[in-house]
């Protein structure tokens, strides 16, 4: 199984859950929505959760990340994912980093 490491550095906390939920719970809800979008082949469901201020360690910005996701969704349409949350860290209010390891199921 090919394993992918996703590092999302995004403003995930704005409007992603009820105010009485912890920030970590809100982030996990967003990660679940991203996973469901990926399994359904819905790139827009993934893209709506990527901040317009997205940046990663490889120099990618939001546009490049959305295109990368489009490529993988088109190539692996409707294949189940196995995911494991490696870490969720709050950097500052409105900014979090989540690392999730994901693998595609099937051939």
Contact in structure between 43 and 77 (CB atoms under 8 Å): no
Residues 67, 98: Cα–Cα separation, whole Å: 20
Report the pLDDT value the prediction gives residue 82, as an integer from 0 to 100.
Answer: 83
Edge-to-edge strands, sheet with 81-92 = 3-10, 95-104, 81-92
Residues 6+ apart with CB under 8 A from 69: 38, 43, 46, 47
pLDDT tens for 42-101 read 889 989 988 898 888 899 999 999 999 899 888 877 677 888 888 888 888 878 888 888
Report the pLDDT value the prediction gives residue 5, as an integer from 0 to 100.
Answer: 34
The gap from C-alpha 2 to its chain's centroid, in whole angstroms, comes to 17
pTM for the full predicted model:
0.68
Placement of tokens 């990660």 in the chain: 31
Least confident of 8-12, 14-18, 44-48: 8-12
């Amino acid at each position: 199984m090919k394993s992918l490491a996703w590092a999302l550095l995004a403003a995930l906390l704005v409007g992603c859950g009820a105010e009485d939920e912890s920030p970590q719970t809100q982030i996990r809800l967003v990660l679940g929505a991203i996973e469901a979008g990926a399994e359904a082949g819905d790139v827009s469901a993934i893209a709506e959760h990527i901040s317009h201020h997205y940046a990663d360690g490889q120099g990618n910005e939001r546009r490049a990340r959305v295109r990368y996701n489009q490529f993988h969704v088109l190539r692996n349409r409707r294949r189940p994912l196995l995911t494991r949350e490696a870490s969720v860290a709050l950097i500052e209010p409105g900014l979090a980093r989540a690392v999730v390891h994901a693998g595609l199921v099937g051939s």
